Structure 1
Amino acid sequence: MHLSTRRPFPWRVLVAIILIGFILRGPIIAVAPISGIMRSDLGLNAAQFGLVTSLPVLCFAVVTPFASYFVGKGGANFATMIAILGVGVGSIIRSAGGVEAVFVGTIVMGAFITVGNVVIPVIIRRDISPERVAIVTGSYTSALNVGSMITSVATAPLALAFGWQIALLSWTGFVIIAAIGWLVAIGPRAAFTVGPLKPLIETGAGDTVAIDTSSVPSIRGTRPQTWRNASAVLLSLAFAGQAFTYYGLTAWFPSILEDEVGFSVTAAGSSSSIFQIAAVIGALGAPLLSRRIGVPRTLAIVAVFWLSCPIGLLLAPGAWLAWGFTGGVAQGGGITLVFVLIVQLAMNGTHARRLSAMIQGVGYALGATSPTLIGAVHDATGGWQLPIVVLGIGTLTFTVAGLAGAIRATRVLAPDV
């Protein structure tokens, strides 16, 4: 429950959230544009290399319960700081060279990104007033995609100039910037202090005052539920469809452009970045549109865009720019709407953490299978038609479960409507 007292907007926290968003997807996406270079150097086939992208997502699923426990015990401030530092350590290990280093570093990086995935919605609910949750969530998911876009565009040229190890290592610069941003937002002492979840309210003088609202009862007067919450279950399935399609396309869109359109490695990597760039439109536009027409109708529009991407790639791959754009808008808007509903459904800080862990855990568990499965289907068929059909199943799952979950959640949140 948010305090009713009006307070200044926590700009420093928002900036820190955006900077952290840059490192929670970009390092994973960085390997997609240079998959051919890395596969050749490491001696891996398509299905094996798919694990490099799948492992972080698998970590999201497996580590999420432990990340939720860690956030609850250590506190959001400390957990966020550790997540940032852990992503940096994993990135350094991954760049050491060799198959073993790549896989170990990827697992370490994925584990700490998981902590970030869980804690950011908790921070948003804790520090952001209800009327600003949607736009802040959109800013956060935009940052996820901007970071992905930057790595998609720049990793291949860096790899060709300096080698893939240096190219991947270069993105630790974002980790340093994120760490500085978080330290500025909450202060070094708070960042490294283990403690309960307390909101930071900025005063006019730029100071912060911690207020503990964890004991305030829910305004709905009901007991918080997760697995028995039908809306949460449906949103878990929707997030699974979203994650499955997103990571499958992220991993193999450059390769599809190489094989189906005839692009070079560098051209495919930079061109596929439209999928990440367009997500900013969806991430920022979906919250604004939902305030006018509601979340269910907004999600229906997002679903149409999502469905058009695999259908378009299957029937008219030459128009890849249009399908990359519509898919990008959809993936940015889709994840934003799910996160907005998580924050709105949460009755208190603990409930927000558990809902976040449940929905992301289920979603990423299924999403983790996508890069490897799509790579295996490609190896088995020798083409991209059937893999694209499999991706279409993911968008259909998002559509059906997402619409049902959004309609039900909206009725729960506004029973008189």
Structure 2
Amino acid sequence: MSSARSALLYAGFVLAALNLRPALAGLSPLLDEIMTDVGLTPPQGGAITTVMVLCLGLFGWLTPFLARRTGLDRTLLAGLLLLAVGVLVRAADGAPALYLGAALAGTAIAVMNVAMPGVVKQHFPDRVGPWTSVYVSALVVGAGAGAALMVPLERLTGYGWREVSALAAVPALAAALLWLPQALRRPQDGTDSRGAPPWGADSRGADSRGPAPAVRARPFAALLRSGTTWWVTAFMGLQSLTFYIMLAWLPTIFQDAGLPADQAGYLLSLTNLAQVGATFTVPVHAGRRLSQVPHVVASSLLTIAGYVGVLAAPTTVPWLWMIVLGLGQGASLALALLIITQRAPDPASVTALSAVAQSFGYVLAALGPLLIGLLRQESGGWTVPLLAGVAACVVQAVTGVRAARPHLTASGGRSTAART
């Protein structure tokens, strides 16, 4: 591959990853203004984000079918273009356009979420760990930037929420432009149009017997019969659930403990910043091992320690609890996506496993903040809800250990993790 083509591939991949969260995370800082302008009640305003998160779970299933017909690269391009359309529609006048645009943007993110592990497997089969690290870190950075820049952009430009939120279409279109050469070129790397290597070759091009041809043609059939699939799915869902619990309720917990609102917001930002450190380093180290069990245990223990710190002493060194929590949550997310990539033998199977794990996982995750809110209402405090969160972290660790063990892949082949 020429240096120019490599540069386009790397730049397009990173910019696509940066687009996975700003349209979602950038909505919260503008929500009060949106509700006032459109005339929405608080539940109706919250429903905008709910629509997007539900779409993450409901429409990830589209990705394997699109990839089978058009290829992974074109599927990712379609997701970027749909994302740009969605954020523009969301900024149009009226509540129907607001919800329709949110649904379109959520569907686009769902497609890209599921496609990215397969894209890593297809373009970087010998560097799965490092490139998983790159894309998950870009995802986290994109989320933080989306949340942090909306209000300053309003003040800087003088625009309202419609114009500022519509600016999220710009990086999506830029990523689509950079990714266009990948989508247009014909496969020349030994993969077929679905991103699967020819029969008899494994993910690194070595001759092997591999799974049966029927697995290649119908990856879902094999995946849904595999216990590995459901352990991976459970780990993906539970680490998302324990993350979204804190994302939704952490500022309120700190405020109820007596901290001012601005400090509570800074602490939430700190935990997001700490996640970047974990997402950038953990996949590189864990990807070199056949088993990721020690990494899963360590990340779960860090997450549990963060929960316990917030529960026991929310106003005592809260910055320390946020760093610990962020390291645990960032590592858990990175490991979940790395395990998806390593537990299937080729890009087509990775995409199918990603669809199963992320679709069920995000539906499960959407329930977390709601259940914690109900426990808070019934118990009258945060002890019971946070203990429930700790229990979820323990189950997360158990399922993660089962998913991270070296064994047969979800589609019947051997794990592709390599010891280096």
Which letter maps to 1:238? F
1:95 CA displacement: 2.4
Residue of structure 2 aligned with 1:182, choices 176, 179, 183 = 179
1:75 paired residue number: 71
**Residue 405 of structure 2: SS of its match in structure 1?**
helix
Bigger relative contact order (CA 8 A; separation at least 6) = 1
Question: What is the correspondence of 1:251-330 to structure 2 with a 5 Å cutoff?
Answer: 251-264=248-261, 268-290=264-286, 291=288, 294-318=291-315, 319-330=317-328
Q: Distance in 1 between matches of 2:239 and 2:309?
A: 17
1:368 CA displacement: 2.1
**Residue 413 of structure 1: SS of its match in structure 2?**
coil
Residue of structure 2 aligned with 1:364, choices 355, 362, 366 = 362
**Alignment CA distance shift 1:299-1:211 (3 Å):** closer
Corresponding position: 1:173 with 2:170: yes
Residue of structure 1 aligned with 2:149, choices 143, 150, 154 = 154
Q: Distance in 2 between matches of 1:273 and 1:37?
A: 21
1:144 CA displacement: 0.5
Corresponding position: 1:406 with 2:400: no
Residue of structure 2 aligned with 1:136, choices 122, 128, 131 = 131
1:86 CA displacement: 0.9
Is this contact kept in 2: 1:158–1:164, CA < 8 A? no
Corresponding position: 1:221 with 2:218: no
**Alignment CA distance shift 1:70-1:54 (3 Å):** same
1:53 paired residue number: 49
1:283 CA displacement: 1.0
Is this contact kept in 2: 1:95–1:165, CA < 8 A? yes
**Alignment CA distance shift 1:401-1:50 (3 Å):** farther
2:218 paired residue number: none
Q: Which runs of 5+ in 2 are unaligned?
A: 203-207, 216-221
Q: Distance in 2 between matches of 1:48 and 1:384?
A: 25
Is this contact kept in 1: 2:120–2:128, CA < 8 A? yes
Q: So what's the TM-score if we normalise by structure 2?
A: 0.81
**Alignment CA distance shift 1:387-1:153 (3 Å):** farther
Is this contact kept in 2: 1:54–1:371, CA < 8 A? no
1:145 paired residue number: 140
Question: What is the correspondence of 1:40-119 to structure 2 with a 5 Å cutoff?
Answer: 42-45=39-42, 49-96=45-92, 98-119=94-115
Q: So what's the TM-score if we normalise by structure 1?
A: 0.82
Deviations 1:216-267 (A, max 9, x none): 45536344431222222111101011111222322333444444443346x5
Q: Distance in 2 between matches of 1:379 and 1:34?
A: 26
**% of aligned pairs identical?**
24
> Once superposed, which parts of structure 1, at least 4 consecutive aligned residues long, lie more than 6 Å away?
6-9
Is this contact kept in 1: 2:122–2:195, CA < 8 A? no
**Alignment CA distance shift 1:255-1:155 (3 Å):** farther
Which letter maps to 1:366? L
1:386 CA displacement: 4.2
RMSD between aligned residues = 3.3
